């Protein structure tokens, strides 16, 4: 079982005998400064600098790594590959961003893959948006994911799961206020930070 993810395209892919997960994407998060003007909120969102600038890489389990390079896709830009091999665990790339406004626009073009060809654990490739308060407490989560049937993720009052129906490229773009409309009991005035997390997961530890 393997999984990996890439970003510029960031990607995540798993190429194992039992399951695979894969994610390719481009990401942008913009806030309007004045009419017809926008500035990007994410630090090093295009990966032109080393990942230590803005991003945190984390792993759990064996055979997981994160690689930044220029020849991971057929273009001259930098991409990142997150990889998780056999065994339970994950590979993640994340960044916490202070939000000046919920009118900020999140945009991502992604191709996600997840499959299982025999008995074994579940797999998922996902883009997760964690909404946090001033103290960093988790308030709610938006999850765009391609996952196998055994994945335990589901819609709850605190989590909005957007399951990707196929492995084609799709563009997801919305203001954070639009995404937060799902959470009908959430006091939006409490949302102070957005944590963007690109992840590949294998096993039972969500």
| Domain map (residue ranges) of the chain | 2-203
Q: What whole-number distance in Å separates Cα of residue 39 and Cα of residue 104?
A: 10
Q: DSSP states of 133-154 as a string?
A: -TT--EEEEEEEEEE-TT----
Q: Can you give the pLDDT at residue 86? A: 67
C-alpha distances in angstroms, 199 versus 16, 31, 145, 159, 161?
17, 24, 10, 16, 14
Q: What is the pLDDT of residues 21-39, one digit of tens each?
A: 444 444 556 554 444 445 6
- Asked whether the predicted pLDDT for residue 176 surpasses 90, the reply is yes
**pTM score, two decimals?**
0.82
Q: What is the pLDDT of residues 86-109, one digit of tens each?
A: 678 888 989 999 999 999 988 877
Q: Can you give the pLDDT at residue 71? A: 65
Lowest-confidence region among 28-37, 129-138, 151-160: 28-37
Given CA atoms 32, 26, 98, 146 in this order, what sign does their dihedral have? positive
- Asked whether the predicted pLDDT for residue 15 surpasses 90, the reply is no
Mean pLDDT along residues 132-161 = 94
Q: What strand order describes the sheet that includes 122-132?
A: 56-60, 89-98, 193-203, 122-132, 138-147, 159-163
Scanning the structure block, which residue is given the tokens 């490229």? Answer: 169
Q: Can you give the pLDDT at residue 193? A: 97
**Confidence tier at 76 by pLDDT (50, 70, 90):** confident
Q: Can you give the pLDDT at residue 28? A: 58
Residue 120 in tokens: 């074994």
Residue 186 in tokens: 């959430």
8 Å CB contact between 131 and 139: yes
8 Å CB contact between 17 and 26: no
**Confidence tier at 16 by pLDDT (50, 70, 90):** very low
Mean pLDDT along residues 157-172 = 89
Instruction: Report the percent of the chain where pLDDT is more than 90.
Output: 33
Q: What is the pLDDT of residues 43-57, one digit of tens each?
A: 887 778 898 999 999
Higher-pLDDT residue of 117, 187: 187
Q: What whole-number distance in Å separates Cα of residue 59 and Cα of residue 61?
A: 7
Q: How many CA atoms lie within 13 A of 140 on its CB side?
A: 23
């Amino acid at each position: 079982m393997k999984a990996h993810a890439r970003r510029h395209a960031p990607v995540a892919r798993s190429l194992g005998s039992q399951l695979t997960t894969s994610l390719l994407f481009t990401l942008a998060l913009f806030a309007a400064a004045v009419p017809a003007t926008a500035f990007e909120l994410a630090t090093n969102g295009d990966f032109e600098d080393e990942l230590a600038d803005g991003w945190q890489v984390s792993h759990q389990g064996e055979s997981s790594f994160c690689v930044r390079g220029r020849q991971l896709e057929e273009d001259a830009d930098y991409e990142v590959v997150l990889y998780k091999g056999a065994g339970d665990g994950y590979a993640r790339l994340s960044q916490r961003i202070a939000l000046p406004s919920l009118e900020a626009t999140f945009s991502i073009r992604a191709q996600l893959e997840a499959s299982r060809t025999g008995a074994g654990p579940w797999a998922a490739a996902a883009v997760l948006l964690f909404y946090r308060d001033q103290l960093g407490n988790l308030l709610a989560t938006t999850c765009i994911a391609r996952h196998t049937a055994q994945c335990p993720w589901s819609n709850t009052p605190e989590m909005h799961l957007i399951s990707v129906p196929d492995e084609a490229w799709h563009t997801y773009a919305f203001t954070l206020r639009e995404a937060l409309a799902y959470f009908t009991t959430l006091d939006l005035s409490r949302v102070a930070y957005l944590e963007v997390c690109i992840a590949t997961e294998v096993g039972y530890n969500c």
